[in-house]
Amino acid sequence: MHLPSLPLEAFRPRWSEPGRYVVVDRLQVLTASEEAFAAGVRVGMRRGGVGMLCPDAVLLEHDAAKESAAVDAVALSLLQYTPEVALAEEASLLLDVSASLRFFGGARALCRRVRESVLALGFTPQIGMAPTAQGAWLLARAPARTMAGGAGIRQRRVLRIDTLSRRLDALPCTLLPALRPFREWLEGIGCRSCGDLRKLPRAGLKRRTNPAALDALERAYGEATELLEWVQAPETFCAKLELPDRIEHAEAVLFAARRLLLQMTGWLVARQRAIACFVLALEHERGRQAIAPTLLEIKLAEAAWREDHLTRLLKERLGRLVLQAPVIALRLEAAQTEAMAPPTESLFPEPGGTPADRKRLLELLTARLGEDNVLVPAPHAAHRPEEANRWLPATLPRRPAPACPPPLARPFWLLAAPIELIMRDQRPFYGSPLRIVSAMERVECGWESDTLVMRNYFVAQGEEEAFYWIYRERDGEDVRWYLHGLFA
Amino acid sequence: MSASLLRIPIQDAGGEAGRPAQAAGLPTEQLANVWRADQLGSWQSAAIPSGHGALDRELPNGGWPTAALTELMLQQSGIGEMRLLQPAFSRIAKHRPIALVQPPYLPQAAAWVAWRLPAEQLLWIRTSRAVDALWAAEQILRNGSCGALVLWQTHIRHESLRRLHLAAQASDMLFWLLRPLAAAQDASPAPLRLCLRPAAGGIAAKILKRRGPQREGSLFLPLGFAPALRFVQKGSHHAPVDRRAPAVAAARSVSPALV
């Protein structure tokens, strides 16, 4: 895979604001954004010429360190498709996908997924596929117009070695970096394509040009073995991203955070881990007016490694967040990981979805509504109904259910605070006079702490036939009635 | 268009059942799919028996429809609406959880346990804004891991109702929307709408809308669990005597050494 506009996209990822940006290497234009090309900027132009054509263009100095960091980030996130990813010359990556084709549903589906991932990272990929790594590199690197049969990605994908040799024969031989110094000499002897080059006597070429070029050509045609150094995933994950612009809305952080999440997904898959807790730090102003970064800790009830689920969780959390200051950088850290437990596929799917689906739902609801608003019952052995009716966050690890108290006449609805009832004709009144229809249930407890309650509970019925749960407070001589529940 | 979607009301003016349909030019094998306006319609999805025979006889397919929005309009909360749904709950709670979104009061797990339903299958979602409640309901319907969803809303816009109904159609869950009685005046995309009022020993349900002919008058549904009556019969072997309570123990009046 080749990243043709890496010098620009290292500064301005695809999701950043469009504008006229030109990347210059010392004096010459290296690449530019689409808006700048439309204004007349061309590759190879002088710095002064750009100033003449579009004075409002932003000139960015070519930064090799930033580019290599970007390629590393892409390599890390592509580890989710194959463990064998290698860095190649000229902003390219080599992926050995022969073992992954069947898992991802064939070459075309895999190419589509790799392309989507790289686009989400903010880079434009140019993907070539061939039985040899050097051949795939040449196909990915070739400019679109020289491809046989016109432009299009279909021509960059070759699965058989004889088709590959035909395709490579038509490519210009100066695509190989080792042959570029000899461009004029090769044109002088009428040798333009790789096919022409292979027809020339080998010994003479080796003496007159770079021997490395001939080795590369042999590797491309599958005549020599290839040795590649695969990228190793680091022990711990902590990725940082400097944002191209200051971001003032929490939702806009998501695009940038998605890039970090993709990197983390690649890292998790490569190390066969699943994430249980991760921290996203939003960094604000540094230096003299430094503001401490906002930390966003996301805990998962069940460790996950799927990027779409993590993105949804983060989206809901960011939706709730109000930024105190503009964000200039993001840092993502994998705080806690577990060994990955791959899903077991059952022959007959359950109607209610898997337990993992249920966990995902609870996590999603918790991410938006907060932990205290997604609750499951945790009955507590207590006499006071408001204490016995205890609810706990659904994402907490469940303890085994305690021995349930014997079923008592309890209403389904409990009032958060009891309502004091007015009295009419010596009877409690709530909409209509209430008639007591049950025996008394006495609740008297709390003397050991300062919360003594002495209540006599009754079931009462109003004139419209609904049942109410009321109590009389035994406190001295005056009688006070309260409504505490409704039998729904 | 699938044949099951074909619903042509046919006026049967005393003739044989098949004749008007043949007059409409329908092939004989399609006649089974023709719905006649004097019959009950049917759901395209499965129905779960409501546990109340009188209600089941009046509902198409004999039960609460899954994959559809069902509206229950209450005179007020706490008139027996949960006891009405309880037989359906006990069928679902064996396998799948039941979510309550924005209930009007605190649900009490002891009552749930007293109905012999597993407490761990109950999920209470508390929201402060109606937007959050609608979002939560839609996510639960989309996820499909719950077996039933009960949503309380006072004011709900027509677009939101349509959206919820669409989400419900894509799921296989039971979905009840509980609204105040005043909402009965408004139009709704829900295929089943019931008005509920309290009645002596049960609940009075009026079917406002269903797939089938209009039903005049309301149904009386006895609710099996009448808390007060059971409590009086089982709990009182002796007549209640109003006696003075023993001396009141004030807080911290007993020294710990004596206890």
pLDDT digits (tens, 9 = 90+) for A41-98: 877 788 778 877 777 878 888 888 888 888 888 888 888 888 888 888 888 888 888 8
Residue in the structure block whose two tokens are 């990929």: A125
pLDDT the model gives residue A275: 85
Q: Highest mean pLDDT: which of A46-50, A225-229, B38-42, B156-160?
A: B156-160
Q: What are residue B54's phi and psi, to 5 degrees?
A: -65, -35
pLDDT the model gives residue B124: 93
Name which of A369, A377, A461 is nearest B112 (Cβ-Cβ).
A377
Name which of B75, B119, B245 is nearest A379 (Cβ-Cβ).
B119
**Nearest residue on chain B to A469, judged by CA atoms?**
B228
Residue A341 has pLDDT above 80, yes or no: no
Residue A254 has pLDDT above 90, yes or no: no
**Nearest residue on chain A to B92, judged by CA atoms?**
A352
Instruction: Give the strand pairing for A58-61 and A21-25.
Output: parallel
Please state the rounded mean pLDDT for residues A169-192: 82
* ipTM of model: 0.75
Count CB-CB contacts under 10 A for residue B74: 23
Name which of A365, A459, A486 is nearest B105 (Cβ-Cβ).
A486
Q: Is A445 on the interface with B (CB under 8 A)?
A: no
**Among candidates A64, A60, A69, which has minimal Cα distance to A121?**
A69
A88: its two tokens = 């190649």
pLDDT the model gives residue B160: 92
> At A2, which amino acid appears?
H
Please state the rounded mean pLDDT for residues A245-271: 83
% of chain A with per-residue pLDDT over 90: 0
**Nearest residue on chain A to B110, judged by CA atoms?**
A410
Count CB-CB contacts under 10 A for residue A354: 15
Substitution target from A368, A412, A484 for chain B, most B beta carbons within 10 A? A412
Residue A425 has pLDDT above 50, yes or no: yes
Name the helix (H) or strand (E) containing B94.
none
Mean pLDDT, chain A, rounded, equals: 81
Please state the rounded mean pLDDT for residues A192-216: 82
Q: Is A452 on the interface with B (CB under 8 A)?
A: yes
Please state the rounded mean pLDDT for residues B65-81: 90
C-alpha torsion sign, points B117, B165, B142, A249: negative
Residue A184 has pLDDT above 50, yes or no: yes
Domain boundaries, chain A: 238-367, 374-488
**Among candidates A116, A10, A4, A122, which has minimal Cα distance to A69?**
A10
Three-class DSSP category at B117: coil
pLDDT digits (tens, 9 = 90+) for B104-158: 999 988 888 888 888 888 999 999 889 999 999 999 998 888 999 999 999 999 9
Are A361 and B113 within 8 A, CB to CB?
no
Chain A: closest CA distance from residue B195 (Å): 15
Chain B: closest CA distance from residue A402 (Å): 11
DSSP alpha helices (H): ranges in chain B?
A: 19-23, 53-58, 81-92, 109-114, 130-143, 158-169, 227-235
pLDDT the model gives residue B43: 67
Please state the rounded mean pLDDT for residues A387-411: 73
Please state the rounded mean pLDDT for residues A405-411: 69
Mention every residue, 6+ apart, whose C-beta is less than 8 A from residue B124. A374, A375, A376, A377, A391, B99, B100, B103, B107
Q: Highest mean pLDDT: which of A449-458, B86-95, B216-225, B236-245?
A: B86-95
Residue B235 has pLDDT above 80, yes or no: no
The CATH superfamily label for domain B47-229 reads: P-loop containing nucleotide triphosphate hydrolases (3.40.50.300)
Class of domain A238-367: alpha beta
Chain A: closest CA distance from residue B59 (Å): 23
Report pTM.
0.65
Q: Which of residues 82-141 of B touch A (CB under 8 A)?
A: 82-83, 95-97, 103-114, 116, 119-120, 122-127, 132, 135-136, 139-140
pLDDT the model gives residue A338: 81
Domain boundaries, chain B: 7-33, 47-229
Give me the count of residues in chain B. 259
Rounded Cα–Cα distance for residues A150 and A380 (Å): 74
Grade residue A34 by pLDDT with cuts at 50, 70 and 90: confident
The string of DSSP codes covering B143-175 is H--SSEEEEE-SS--HHHHHHHHHHHHTS--EE
A264: its two tokens = 């983390």
pLDDT the model gives residue B174: 92
Three-class DSSP category at A88: strand
Grade residue A342 by pLDDT with cuts at 50, 70 and 90: low
Q: Which of residues 163-192 of B touch A (CB under 8 A)?
A: 172
C-alpha torsion sign, points B117, B120, B121, B123: positive
Rounded Cα–Cα distance for residues A485 and A414 (Å): 4
Mention every residue, 6+ apart, whose C-beta is less than 8 A from residue A95. A1, A78, A81, A82, A84, A85, A86, A114
Q: Is A396 on the interface with B (CB under 8 A)?
A: no
> At A262, which amino acid appears?
L
C-alpha torsion sign, points A148, A149, A150, A151: negative
Q: Which of residues 326-355 of A touch B (CB under 8 A)?
A: 351-354
pLDDT the model gives residue B257: 60
- List residues bridging with A247 in a β-sheet: A327
Rounded Cα–Cα distance for residues B175 and B88 (Å): 11
pLDDT the model gives residue B233: 45
C-alpha torsion sign, points A119, A120, A123, A128: negative
Chain B: closest CA distance from residue A162 (Å): 49
**Among candidates B147, B149, B154, B148, which has minimal Cα distance to B136?**
B149
